[in-house]
Amino acid sequence: MTVHNLYIFSRNCTLLYYAEWNRLNKSGMTKEEEAKLMYGMLFSIKSFINKISPLDPKDGFLHYKTSKYTLNYLETPSGLKFVLNTDNSAQNVRGLLQQLYSQIYVEYVIKNPLCQLNEPIQSELFKNKLDELVKSSPYF
Amino acid sequence: MSRTGARLDAKKVNSELFTLTYGALVTQLLKDYENVEDVNKQLERMGYNMGIRLIEDFLARTGSGRCYDFRDTAEKIQSGFKIFLGITPTITNWSPAGDAFSLCFETNPLTEFVELPDHCLNLKYCNILTGVLRGACEMVQMEVASWFLQDQLKNDSVTEIRVKFVKRLEDAIPAGED
């Protein structure tokens, strides 16, 4: 199993953090452009799902799957967006995304007064802890 | 707030230490600004800055989703007080339209050992709480206003914060590609 890469977006569309572990195909554009594209797609999927859903869309968009990979999506009520690409055999990645949020983001960004919210995350501690968590997860 | 590492349950902090630290903060502000109105304003602002971070901690701990109505919000605010201050305010005095309610505190850890001197009668000692509420709600797309109706420090029997719903904020949309 593999975890490919991770995007974290703030509620104001900024890319807070990008990490990559096993990515074979490069998109051929800058990270900023790619992030914009990604955010735009997520935004469209979200509004598409909310409009088209025949029932009350409670959690909204959770993941999509292609023949090669799965994109897992978690949005907190405060508008933070976590996007994790894994391979198709990884089940229930939501738990890992929740962990990323509550054990890594909250602990090492929110509780670090030197980390500005809505700006790309520079903290080394955050980077290391995140890497550690993902590498120790069963999906890696 | 304390750093808890990988563990999720917060380390218990002695509430007396917290009370006294907050007291020292207010005293310092009073010295710095010499004007009670400015101190009220600063406390609210500091509360706001705390609220926009505190909400993430709250959401991560409770795993709660977005509020579907304002009554739901009231209950979540109540549980927030339980988590962060260890007190459970009662929710009362709903406005007929259901867009405002009061939080009543029998006890308030912020105001233990506190007496207001005569020249500070306009000081809203706990004004930081109104800022916290505003900041936290703003992060979940809700604009609220809150203010003190009664205050035990001013010889009322309970401390009462009135919370009013102002408007729903819209999600940010990505900037257009031009």
Structural domain including A30 reads: 3-136
pLDDT at B6 over 70: no
Residue B77 within a domain: yes
Residue B1 within a domain: no
Confidence of residue B11 (pLDDT cuts 50, 70, 90): low
Confidence of residue B173 (pLDDT cuts 50, 70, 90): low
Query: What ipTM, to 2 d.p.?
Result: 0.86
pLDDT tens, position by position, A10-48: 988 899 999 999 888 888 899 999 999 999 999 999 989
Residue B151 within a domain: yes
Contact B165, B144 (CB under 8 A): yes
Average confidence (pLDDT) over B102-116: 88
Average confidence (pLDDT) over A107-118: 90
Query: In this complex, how many residue pairs, one in chain A and one in chain B, have their CB atoms less than 8 Å apart?
Result: 59
pLDDT at B4 over 60: no
We report the CATH number of the domain holding residue A49 as 3.30.450.70
We report the CATH number of the domain holding residue B87 as 3.30.1380.20
The percentage of residues in chain B with a pLDDT greater than 70, rounded to a whole number, is: 89
Q: A36 contacts in B (CB within 8 Å)?
A: 174, 177
pLDDT at A5 over 80: yes
Cα nearest neighbour of A98 on chain B: B60
Q: Report the distance separating Cα A96 and Cα A125, nearest Å.
A: 19
User: Considering its fold, how many domains does chain B have in total?
Assistant: 1
Q: How far is CA A64 from CA A37, A46, A88, B22, B173, in A?
A: 16, 12, 10, 48, 21
Inter-chain CB proximity B59 and A98 less than 8 Å: no
- Both tokens assigned to B168: 């729903």
Best CA proximity match to B53, nearest among A13, A64, A115: A115
Residue B59 within a domain: yes
Confidence of residue A72 (pLDDT cuts 50, 70, 90): very high
Inter-chain CB proximity B4 and A13 less than 8 Å: no
- Both tokens assigned to A99: 């962990």
Rg (CA), chain B: 17
The pLDDT, as a whole number, for residue B16 is 85
The pLDDT, as a whole number, for residue B177 is 44
Residue B101 within a domain: yes
pLDDT at A82 over 60: yes
- Both tokens assigned to B165: 């719903």
CA–CA min distance A35, chain B (Å): 11
pLDDT at B101 over 70: yes
Contact B164, B146 (CB under 8 A): yes
Confidence of residue B57 (pLDDT cuts 50, 70, 90): very high
Confidence of residue A52 (pLDDT cuts 50, 70, 90): very high
pLDDT at B3 over 50: no
Structural domain including B37 reads: 10-168
User: Considering its fold, how many domains does chain A have in total?
Assistant: 1
